[in-house]
Amino acid sequence: MNTKDVLLSARNLEVHFPVGNHILPSRRPRLKAVNGIDVDVYRGETLGIVGESGCGKSTLARALLRLIEPTRGELRWKGEDMRAFSKTTLVRRRREFQMVFQDPTASLNPRLTVSECIAEPLLTHEPRLKRREIKRQVIAMMDKVGLSASHRNRYPHEFSGGQCQRVGIARALVLNPDLVVCDEPVSALDVSIQAQVINLLDDLKQEMGGTLVMIAHDLSVVRHISDRVMVMYLGKPMEVGLYDRVFDQAQHPYTKALLSAVPIANPKLARSREVQLLPGDLPSPLNPPSGCVFRTRCPEATDLCGRQPPTQSGSEEHRIFCSNTLLLAGQ
């Protein structure tokens, strides 16, 4: 991983959705799905973004690729202002960044064969390719993701969920993009299939020299594939760093709570381990808590946490965002 080669970067990225039926758009409440994120994605790395359901991970993933327009903030692709791309430029540049979606069946056109699904990006971005070359590339990509070329004329409903996700991965990688964003690609799959898909993504990334952003709500999903990890809560970053620093030297109470819930294969260790249950539910992004958004569930919260936004501390290799100065001093 070349940490000096930033492929995609976001600064103070926000995605707010107006809700309600007020006649004046400016008076409508706004759901703050992503509420101030700074993130860099380095060429050749795998960045894992984790957090419980409703914390804004999927919205962030779509905003990074401009599948959702950010409300405000800076977004740069290979040093260029991505938000300044026209629709025509954005369509043309999409061959450089692709996405694997959460629901493998809903992301494929049921009226197309899997061969046609995989070939669509080639038809869009390389219209001069001859049919036999398209067929050759589709068969080669199916072989890479572990699908039989003899099944290329079947339809998505004839495949299992894991096989459909392999079709989605093949479709995303057929153009050999620089970046692939995977939005919880295994959450709809059986546990035995999850490991196969994760290993497949890691192998293809190594083979094709690409960059991955892996979205997940389970830390165990990204543990063995990520170079760096960002932990999110209610649209905000809580902890960011190299995967071994985050997993082995977690500082933020939210990260510690997530790690305590990761399953352990050893029954004796599992029984002796103390699971840190967080009180209450995730607050509404329509009205997030003042100060630190995690303070209403944080066991280390103080009065200061309600008055002061989190302070960033640590190094580039491991950063924590917290309002509790005593906790920060104890790092």
pLDDT digits (tens, 9 = 90+) for 243-302: 999 999 999 999 999 988 877 766 777 677 777 778 888 898 999 999 999 999 998 888
Give residue-wise pLDDT tens across range 96-145.
Answer: 999 999 888 888 999 999 999 999 999 999 999 999 999 999 999 999 99
- What is residue 290's predicted lDDT score, i.e. its pLDDT? 92
**Helical ranges in the chain per DSSP H:** 57-64, 87-93, 114-125, 131-144, 161-173, 191-208, 219-222, 243-248, 253-260, 267-272, 303-307, 325-329
Q: Which is higher by pLDDT, 22 or 39?
A: 39
- The mean per-residue pLDDT over the stretch 176-187 comes to 93
Q: pTM (2 decimals)?
A: 0.91
- What is residue 292's predicted lDDT score, i.e. its pLDDT? 93
Can you tell me which residue has the tokens 């293809």?
A: 204
Q: Which two tokens stand for residue 299?
A: 């066991």
Q: Which two tokens stand for residue 146?
A: 């572990």
Query: Do the beta carbons of residue 10 and residue 64 sit within 8 Å?
Result: yes
How does DSSP classify residue 159? S
Name the average pLDDT for the chain.
90
Can you tell me which residue has the tokens 């840190």?
A: 276
CATH topology of domain 6-329: Rossmann fold (3.40.50)
Angle at 134 between CA 91 and CA 136, to 5 degrees: 140
The sign of the CA dihedral 54, 57, 60, 62 is negative
How does DSSP classify residue 326? H
Q: Which two tokens stand for residue 286?
A: 């329509």
- The mean per-residue pLDDT over the stretch 319-325 comes to 86
Residue 132 host element (H or E): helix 131-144
